[in-house]
Amino acid sequence: MIEQTYARSGKILVQGHRGALGRAPENTMPSFELGRNLGADLLELDVHLTKEGKLAVMHDPDVSRTTNGTGALENMSSGEISALDAGIGFSQEFAGTRVPFLGEVLAWAKGKIDLAVEIKGNPFPAEGVEAAVVDEITRYGMEDNVVVICFYHPVVKKVKEIAPHILTGILYTGRAIDPAAMARAAGADSIRCDWHYLAKEDVDKAHAAGLWVSCWTADSEDVFSRLAEIGVDSAGCNYPDRFRKWLDER
Ligand code: G3P
Ligand code: CA
């Protein structure tokens, strides 16, 4: 996993947030391709377990914000999900873009780019999602190229119990008293926080505990500077090109 390898090298990795959500429909193949082309070192995406046991790549539990459909994703069949148009809200070139399933993204990413796979739910992640995610990652031989992340730390813990060799991260927001202790409780390898709440002290303590540190979402120069100052290892970006340019020019 490139993120872990580069941790504390002084280099900040650009993590394309839902691909490149500022430039293309989020969590779609065009968004992942664009994110990579715009200089992302790794790509972040969100997954939900459907009633058929498939892992659909989408942020919200409901399809209405990001597609032309309505209703809860978890109750839809694969056929219904594949019939949705996720290419809305951007130019016509994205019209007809499908909602991908995790396997499709893993197959595309293999040998190209690392992934941060975030487990979502409605609101809690569905029972059995941890094993489903691990199975899919293993099926595509991507165990060394993903980090599995979640706001629900018991889910992170379960992933680690099922697959100790797969890297994980706890997501959290707000100023935590001891993020490193939270990570330890979940057996996680990284801490990942909304940058607004991340202090240098948290980063230093996480590093001292052997964890690496990521955050979201960095889209302006003042934020890039702040993140460089506090020493994060990677940052989620809606416009990966902006952070890449800033990093290349500094
Ligand atoms: O990488 C974590 C970040 O994406 C969490 O927030 O709402 O974009 O999933 P959200
Ligand atoms: Ca996410």
What pLDDT does residue 4 have? 79
Quote the ligand 1 centre to 171 CA distance (angstroms). 8
Q: Is residue 59 situated within a structural domain?
A: no
The verdict on residue 163 lying in a domain is yes
| Domain annotation covers residue 74 | no
Tell me which H or E stretch contains 108: helix 102-109
pLDDT in tens, 15-62: 999 999 999 999 999 999 999 999 999 999 999 999 999 999 999 999
Is residue 103 in a domain?
Answer: no
* 118's tokens: 């975030």
Residue 188 forms part of a structural domain? yes
What is the domain-level CATH number for residue 156?
A: 3.20.20.190
User: Does 196 participate in catalysis according to the annotation?
Assistant: no
Task: Yes or no: say if 136 and 75 are a contact pair by the CB < 8 Å rule.
Answer: no
- Cβ of 189 closer than 6 Å to ligand 1, yes or no, is no
Beta strand pairing status for 55-57 and 42-49?
Answer: antiparallel
Answer whether 3 contacts ligand 1 (Cβ < 6 A). no
For residue 97, what pLDDT is reported?
98
State the residue range of the domain holding 177.
2-47+115-249
Of 48, 59, 153, 165, catalytic: 59
Residue with CA at minimum distance from ligand 1 atom 3: 216
The residue whose two tokens read 């996680």 is 188
In the block, residue with structure tokens 């046991």: 53
CA 31 – ligand 2 centroid, Å: 14
Contact 14, 216 (CB under 8 A): no
Number of separate domains in the chain: 1
Confirm whether 222 is domain-assigned. yes
Residue 207 among the catalytic residues: no
Q: Which residues of the chain have pLDDT under 70?
A: none
Beta strand extents in 93-248 (DSSP E only):
114-119, 146-150, 167-172, 190-194, 212-216, 234-237
What's the pLDDT score for residue 105?
98
Q: For position 7, what pLDDT does the model report?
A: 72
Tell me, yes or no, whether 221 lies in a domain.
Answer: yes
| pLDDT at residue number 11 | 87
pLDDT of residue 5: 82
pLDDT for 38 equals 97
**Has residue 56 been placed in a domain?**
no
